[in-house]
Amino acid sequence: SDGTRKRGMLERFLPLLGISSNEQFAQTIIRRLADRSRDEGRLADTVLLYNLAERYNTVLNVLGKQLGELLYTHGGSNSNADNIGDAYGLDDVEGVARAVLEHYKQREHIARVLDDRAVTTCNTLLTIVDFLNCHRRGAYEEALEMIERTQLLPLGGDVSLASQHAERVRSLDDSITRNFSLILLAAMDTLSCLYAGLRESPFMDAVKQANLQTLRRKARSLMVFAGMIQFRMPSDTYAKLNRMDVFMN
């Protein structure tokens, strides 16, 4: 249960199979089984087998790709569920990813060989899931906090930083960049809902005006950023963003 591989019956007869070492066994038997499980879409078996073969970064890459694909396929779908995983089966992948990351972090011999990019990608995707779940259930302040935590979008209110974020997109994993349309639309809707709620409050004072202005600046930064990466998104995304931006201005 702790991920340690124990010597099995088959390994007692490795010489009869022409296999001379545990490394060769992992390469010849376990990794081929893992590749087959991956190709057949059996996530749990794939993670287990690659883990037994000590291909820890491959485990993270598989999980990141699966999270990205499920978000791309179902993240923007309409559903009454507050949690996108409840409606579309993302919970299984999300749960496995969180458990694996925690398991690896607690084991120094694994943690020191992990690829920083693979770890960051998985953690970022999980935060995106948290952000989308908050957005779906109307927890807009929490949603804004979540998406700001990823540092994917220029939400500091400084339009001049949009180009830096746009340049950074090139270095992101495809499992993240393919979901930028979903992320941007949910982020802009979050700002729009916060703006509407604040504007409709009965009191108009300097603090309220300042908060409204802050939300408008964040929205404007998103629009500048979106304009710089339009080629990475469906053609109608920018038009949808623009309609929400107009509402706030």
pLDDT digits (tens, 9 = 90+) for 64-94: 999 999 999 876 655 555 555 554 456 688 9
SS3 248: helix
Cβ–Cβ < 8 Å for 85, 76: no
Res. 10 pLDDT band, cuts 50 70 90? low
pLDDT digits (tens, 9 = 90+) for 186-236: 999 999 999 999 988 877 788 888 999 999 999 999 999 999 987 778 888
Report residue 35 as tokens: 């590749």
Q: Where are the alpha helices (DSSP H) in 112-205?
A: 116-136, 140-150, 162-169, 174-177, 180-199
pLDDT digits (tens, 9 = 90+) for 151-172: 999 998 788 889 999 999 989 9
Cβ–Cβ < 8 Å for 183, 152: yes
pLDDT of 134 > 70? The answer is yes
The mean pLDDT value of the chain amounts to: 85
For residues 45 and 113, what is the distance between their CA atoms, to the nearest angstrom?
22
Neighbours of 83 (CB within 10 A): 16
pLDDT score recorded for residue 206: 85
pLDDT score recorded for residue 1: 44
pLDDT of 23 > 70? The answer is no
pLDDT of 3 > 70? The answer is no
| CA distance from start to end of the chain | 55
pLDDT score recorded for residue 223: 94
Residue length of the chain: 249
Of residues 74 and 138, more confidence is placed in 138
Residue 189: name the closest of 150, 231, 219 by CA.
219
pLDDT of 141 > 80? The answer is yes
DSSP state of 161: G
